[in-house]
Structure 1
Amino acid sequence: MGTDHATQVTRKERACADLLAPFGPLRWEPTVTGPEAGFRNKAKMVVGGTMENPTLGILDRERRGVDLRGCGILQPDIRACLPAISSFISRARLRPYDVPNRSGELKYVLVSVTPDGAVMLRFVLRSQEAIARIRKHLPYLRDRLPQLHVVSANIQPEHKAIIEGDLEIPLSDARSLTMPLGKIHLHLGAKSFFQTNTHIAQTMYAQARAWCDEFAPSTVWDLYCGVGGFALHCADGTRTVTGVEVSREAIESARRSADEAALANVDFIAGDAEQFALSSDRAPELAIVNPPRRGIGSTLADWFERSTTETVIYSSCNAKTLAADLDRMPSFTLSRARLLDMFPQSDHYETMALLRRS
């Protein structure tokens, strides 16, 4: 932060190029950029301070609340919700969790917003003690935030640096937020993953579709598919597309999106991506992988190396683990890459890599 955006992007391009240089020569597609402020569609706000004067933001080194309601990377629709949420915390008597003393109830508020302004709000609580008060005072919050569509409470009882727990308690009739992306509408449940920058995400899906169309595979796998963004955008009715994701909630959402878009030859499977590949009788002609920051790892990379797959589209949020995975797949050539500035005002970025079997 404090560095002009163009310089930030140039530094990211150099860092990514250096990491991927051993796997070239390759063709770099033009870098994708978007707004440098007001881009983030999800806020994970630590609740600090007191019940009467809560802070929404982060904790300082002494674990005291630092209020970041005016944070410039958040979409304006999110910032507009935060004063009402703060007032609700006081009204419903939700005591912020005191980390040093291990007391209190409310740990985080998680706020997501769609391009048309619909909002999902999740309260992360230490226990279920405050659920009744939240339910009682929700009409007050809805009066002030008519755009509030999905509300839930997540229970995270452990004193650990873990944001969410396993138990999610719905507090609204609606259970998912609809994220429109052109002709495809993704449905985001409470725990569903979606890229934090909607503008860049749309370009990322379009890039995968363009590469997929270029090589016209008859079979496509989308591993770590989440709510199905890549699979749904790459489906054209002729090729067989299979999405795999460990979250059953996300798979149900992906199936709903496919049905609404009337997409043929698309299937979604709830399961571990690595185990799905290892247990399959046949490999796809083209695979799309969008793993977490740790990358696909040695087991899946080795499987691709032994497989008959001709093309891999690798979407990476960590170019260091991307490079490590490429090193494990010497039978593939990194032919093209594209940097997407998914996270302005930070050192992070997304990389799209096109791998072709040599």
Structure 2
Amino acid sequence: MPQVQLCHHFDAGRCRSCTWLGTPYDVQLVAKQRQVEDLLAGHGLADASWLPPVASAQLGFRNKAKMVVHGTVEAPTLGILNPAGAGVDLRDCPLHTPGIRAALRVLAAFVTRAALTPYDVPTRRGELKHLLVTESPDGELMVRFVLRSQEPVARIRKHLAGLRSELPTLAVASVNLQPEHKAILEGDREIPLTEQETLTMRVDGLALHLRPQSFFQTNTAMAAELYRLGRSWVGSVAPATVWDLYCGVGGFALAIAGTGAAVTGIEISPEAVASARLSAADLPDVRFEVGDATAYAAAAGAPPDLVVVNPPRRGIGPELAGWLESSGVRHVLYSSCNAQTLAKDLDAMPSLRPVRGQLLDMFPNTAHYEVLTLLERS
């Protein structure tokens, strides 16, 4: 694959978040595939069962911007903080979609117009901590202002009509309150600013409704491929009942519903479950519940035919892995963003052997990825 032009922020040493950006993309893919194959080599996944890795666009793929706001009202920076604590402006970061890059220019001017004082970490003064911007495949935007207090909310509301005039793709806007002086992105309380409160993410024929505090994969094209593969692989074993544990906004569950299975999604985040229920409003054989994945499985009666797990980087852990091992479940679809914890979980499930695997490059220019494996009871 031809090497793309490097980011000028990377070239200048201002931002090195994309640690592999200087590595040719085909070399990146080979390195990731080799690491995953090595980690799972002892679990019976033969070379012939590995499908070719799914490549991503190297730039312009990221559908969400998480921008630290720094500087002054008159000259804000939107980006990251350097080691000295100064703001590095990355509003033209080439990882983001063109729509997000255009929006960040408008939002920087809005910070000045609405007199939103950037938060200063050393002095603990100021109000605006982060700007979080998500773009849907339809080109609509969700913008969230992460504030220390409600003090600027009235000014944001006052100037919101002007912002929407300059940014006609703005569909959802809200304020998130994060009053603590901690390195956390957002707080618990969300204040809607627009009548519309969900952003519709259309991926692979699904209409997923994203609420402000719901998680969604940052690479839309790879998310669509992930759900397409999930539907195909699950359909090939034709389960009658499926649990989607760690279901998030319901991507896998809703994709699998098209196979004819009765699907139950379990997710600990009420915001995500609210999003999933909205997306499933017209689907009778899909339901979503708020709950801990491990606790739900342990308390349930008869297991389903197939279980989907899509855990955070820490993996599913020994308790859920032990339950899956002893449950009699015939198949598990495991979507992992960390093959090291995947391998550890597989150690705890020796009766469930991988029969198919594929790497999806969800995070180009870094060492991270998503890997999908179908496990079958031996």
Of 215, 226, 237, the match for 1:204: 226
Residues 312, 354 of structure 1: 8 Å contact kept:
yes
Instruction: Please give the alpha-carbon distance, in whole angstroms, between the structure 2 residues aligned to 1:205 and 1:184.
Output: 9
Q: CA deviation at 1:237?
A: 6.8
Instruction: Please give the alpha-carbon distance, in whole angstroms, between the structure 2 residues aligned to 1:235 and 1:356.
Output: 20
Match of 1:94 in 2: 116
Match of 1:296 in 2: 316
Match of 2:132 in 1: 110
With normalisation by structure 2, the TM-score equals 0.92
Match of 2:100 in 1: 78
Matches within 5 A, 1:222-237: 222-236=244-258
% identity of equivalent residues: 56
Matched, 1:280 2:300: yes
Give me the CA root mean square deviation: 1.0
Instruction: Please give the alpha-carbon distance, in whole angstroms, between the structure 1 residues aligned to 2:239 and 2:253.
Output: 13
Match of 2:7 in 1: none
Match of 2:176 in 1: 154
Residues 237, 264 of structure 1: 8 Å contact kept:
no
Residues 179, 186 of structure 1: 8 Å contact kept:
yes
Match of 1:9 in 2: 29
Q: Residues 288 and 105 (structure 1 numbering): CA distance in 2 closer, same or farther, change over 3 Å? A: same
> Which secondary structure state, in structure 1, belongs to the residue aligned with residue 92 of structure 2?
coil
One-letter amino acid of the structure 2 residue matched with residue 120 of structure 1: M
Of 251, 256, 259, the match for 2:278: 256
Q: Deviations over 1:84-119 (max 9, x none)?
A: 100000111111111111111111000000111100
Q: Residues 25 and 181 (structure 1 numbering): CA distance in 2 closer, same or farther, change over 3 Å? A: closer
Instruction: Please give the alpha-carbon distance, in whole angstroms, between the structure 2 residues aligned to 1:252 and 1:107.
Output: 27
Q: CA deviation at 1:263?
A: 2.4
Q: Deviations over 1:157-178 (max 9, x none)?
A: 1111100101111111111001
Matches within 5 A, 1:134-213: 134-213=156-235
Instruction: Please give the alpha-carbon distance, in whole angstroms, between the structure 2 residues aligned to 1:236 and 1:122.
Output: 33
Instruction: Please give the alpha-carbon distance, in whole angstroms, between the structure 1 residues aligned to 2:143 and 2:260.
Output: 39
Q: Deviations over 1:1-55 (max 9, x none)?
A: 1111111111111111111111123310111112111000000000011111000
Of 127, 135, 145, the match for 2:149: 127
Match of 1:49 in 2: 71
> Which secondary structure state, in structure 1, belongs to the residue aligned with residue 70 of structure 2?
strand
Of 10, 20, 26, the match for 2:40: 20
Matched, 1:31 2:53: yes
One-letter amino acid of the structure 1 residue matched with residue 246 of structure 2: Y
Match of 2:340 in 1: 320
Match of 1:305 in 2: 325
With normalisation by structure 1, the TM-score equals 0.97
Where structure 1 has 5 or more consecutive residues not aligned to the other structure, the ranges are none
Instruction: Please give the alpha-carbon distance, in whole angstroms, between the structure 2 residues aligned to 1:253 and 1:68.
Output: 30
Where structure 2 has 5 or more consecutive residues not aligned to the other structure, the ranges are 1-20
Structure 1 segments of 4+ aligned residues over 6 angstroms from their partners: none
Match of 2:6 in 1: none
> Which secondary structure state, in structure 1, belongs to the residue aligned with residue 201 of structure 2?
strand
